[in-house]
């Protein structure tokens, strides 16, 4: 397939590049394409004429977004909409990556695609608006909500915990936020397979199961350093996080593709590779 990949310098973008070697990938990072520039987006899509656009670009600093609302919405909402409209104009499909942070976390059990979003933060609201723009466009579209990404590339929670542990403990980690940690390799593989199916629409795509940040940190470091549970209030972050934004899918089975493995198995495999 001929694919235009935005956000190619991010952790998911780099994983997609590593995985999709049999496809013709036109990889653009934020320096090569500013997706908030509508004219530049339309020109890039017209030049490449892809069969599919994969939008892995995002303003994903959840805390900084609170004071940078315009920038967050420009990238996560307007930019996604420009890409979808440009894809529609050239007959391309589009994959857009969204987040569990579109939910408020009050449900108490994993969210499915049928649950209504109620984001708590600027980041979450901007991502939800991006979802609406992509799904409301004329392009054949997949919107994939995922969560707590980690992998070989870029900065992420797993790598941060490993770095902190190497400096010695104890580690203070939030214990009242629950989610679905997801390995970028498994997400990239799911994307690569999904775009070759006739399925379209909104899907939750995350490693199965859920844990707290504290439980995840314990699984990462084992008994090598002490991990101390703290509350979100004690962490003092600028943006509110959902208490339980774990994801489950009612729709993935309909694609005919295998479900993603559990989060513990995924983490163990990643740690072996690392």
Check residue 169 and give its pLDDT.
Answer: 79
Given a contact cutoff of 8 angstroms between Cβ atoms, the answer to whether 164 and 235 are in contact is no
Residue 71, φ and ψ in degrees, nearest 5: -65, -40
Check residue 201 and give its pLDDT.
Answer: 97
pLDDT of 221-267, one tens digit each? Answer: 998 999 999 999 999 999 999 999 999 999 999 999 999 999 999 99
- Which residue blocks in 183-224 are alpha helix, DSSP H? 184-194, 213-221
| Rounded Cα gap, residues 51 and 26, in angstroms | 11
pLDDT band, very low/low/confident/very high, at 97 (cuts 50, 70, 90): very high
Check residue 270 and give its pLDDT.
Answer: 97
Average of per-residue pLDDT values in the chain: 97
pLDDT of 118-144, one tens digit each? Answer: 999 999 999 999 999 999 999 999 999
Selecting among 59, 82, 101, 123, the annotated active-site residue is 123
Q: How many CB atoms lie within 10 A of CB 75?
A: 24
pLDDT of 166-208, one tens digit each? Answer: 998 799 999 999 999 999 999 999 999 999 999 999 999 999 9
70-99 mean pLDDT: 98
Domain 2-155+181-208+246-262 classified CATH 3.40.50.720?
yes
Check residue 168 and give its pLDDT.
Answer: 87
| Rounded Cα gap, residues 145 and 96, in angstroms | 9
pLDDT of 157-168, one tens digit each? Answer: 999 999 999 998
Check residue 255 and give its pLDDT.
Answer: 96
Share of the chain above pLDDT 70, in %: 100
Is there a catalytic annotation at residue 150? no
Instruction: Return the bridge partners of 244, or none.
Output: 178
149-153 mean pLDDT: 95
């Amino acid at each position: 397939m001929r694919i235009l990949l935005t956000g190619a310098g991010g952790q998911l973008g780099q994983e997609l590049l590593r995985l999709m070697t049999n496809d013709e990938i036109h990889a653009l990072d934020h320096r090569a394409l500013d997706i908030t520039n509508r004219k530049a987006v339309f020109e890039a899509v017209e030049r490449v004429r892809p069969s599919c656009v994969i939008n892995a670009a995002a303003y994903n600093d959840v805390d900084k977004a609170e004071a940078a609302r315009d920038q967050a919405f420009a990238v996560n909402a307007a930019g996604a909409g420009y890409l979808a409209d440009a894809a529609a104009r050239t007959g391309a499909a589009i994959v857009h990556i969204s987040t569990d942070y579109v939910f408020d976390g009050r449900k108490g059990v994993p969210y499915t695609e049928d649950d209504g979003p109620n984001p708590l933060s600027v980041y979450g609201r901007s991502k939800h608006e991006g979802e609406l723009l992509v799904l409301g466009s004329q392009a054949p579209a997949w919107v994939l909500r995922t969560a707590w990404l980690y992998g070989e590339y870029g900065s992420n929670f797993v790598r941060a915990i490993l770095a902190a542990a190497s400096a010695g403990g104890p580690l203070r980690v939030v214990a009242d936020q629950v989610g679905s940690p997801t390995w970028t390799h498994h997400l990239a593989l799911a994307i690569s397979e999904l775009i070759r199916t006739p399925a379209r629409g909104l899907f939750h795509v995350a490693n199965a199961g859920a844990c707290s940040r504290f439980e995840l940190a314990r699984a990462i470091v084992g008994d090598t350093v002490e991990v101390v549970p703290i509350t979100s209030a004690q962490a003092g972050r600028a943006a509110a996080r959902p208490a339980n934004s774990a994801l489950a899918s009612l729709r993935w089975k309909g694609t005919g593709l295998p479900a993603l493995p559990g989060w513990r198995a995924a983490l163990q495999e990643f740690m072996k590779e690392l």
